[in-house]
A and B are shown apart, each in its own frame.
Chain A
Amino acid sequence: AQSVSQHNHHVILSEAASLELGCNYSYGGTVNLFWYVQYPGQHLQLLLKYFSGDPLVKGIKGFEAEFIKSKFSFNLRKPSVQWSDTAEYFCAVNPTGGGNKLTFGTGTQLKVEL
């Protein structure tokens, strides 16, 4: 069964700082990878996704993530965070080719201070 690890549970940054959130997964086959964001009191929304092709994917609101297959990683980055990026971020993995379970990491709570 697949699993997802997010090592940073809480991150506090000042506005304009750069962000990198780690995500590692364990699964023997090929996967689809996702980053979701949950703003306070809201449901999960898709930030970006990787299915195939260019391992550097760009999402909404200036976020990007890089899939490094050899490291089983899919880290999320943003060059300059804003106060409005305060939210919880979840990495998720879904095996390709018939796998139906979407497995989430434990999430990273990001707080951006003015």
Chain B
Amino acid sequence: NAGVTQTPKFRILKIGQSMTLQCTQDMNHNYMYWYRQDPGMGLKLIYYSVGAGITDKGEVPNGYNVSRSTTEDFPLRLELAAPSQTSVYFCASKTRTRGMNTEAFFGQGTRLTVV
């Protein structure tokens, strides 16, 4: 099992450019999440999905878009990169077993710098 895989690991973007951060999981998890991590701020939820075809906004969705066409993949799209989007992005997934929550599993992260 690879778990949660994110690509790329590092990226430098110019202001106004666009890119897609890829996230895939092979655990057949229903729920997937995108977080951004900034120093001293913890992890802030950008978007999440409870299953294929269903997405919802988190705390800080502005400037981002997501899609969930399959159970495995949950890409995060930045349309017009801004310096405020310089951050480390983590994708996570989890499932529910017999109606109970389980812990989330995280990818290795993508360090994005917008200049």
Contacts and interface: CB of A to CB of B under 8 A. Distances in A.
Interface residues on B, range: 20 to 34
B92 interface: yes
Contact of B92 (A32, A49, A96, A102): A102
Contact of B48 (A9, A42, A97, A100): A100
B48 A101 contact: yes
B74 interface: no
Contacts of B44: 104
A90 B48 CA distance: 19
A44 B101 contact: no
A102 B42 CA distance: 12
> Chain B interface secondary structure, helix, strand, loop or mixed?
strand
B40 A102 contact: no
B106 A106 contact: no
B58 A101 contact: yes
A96 B109 contact: no
16 contacts: A9-B40, A42-B108, A43-B108, A43-B109, A44-B43, A44-B106, A45-B106, A46-B103, A90-B42, A94-B101, A100-B31, A102-B33, A102-B94, A102-B104, A104-B35, A104-B44
**Closest CB pairs A-B (n = 5):** A106-B42, A104-B43, A44-B106, A43-B106, A104-B42
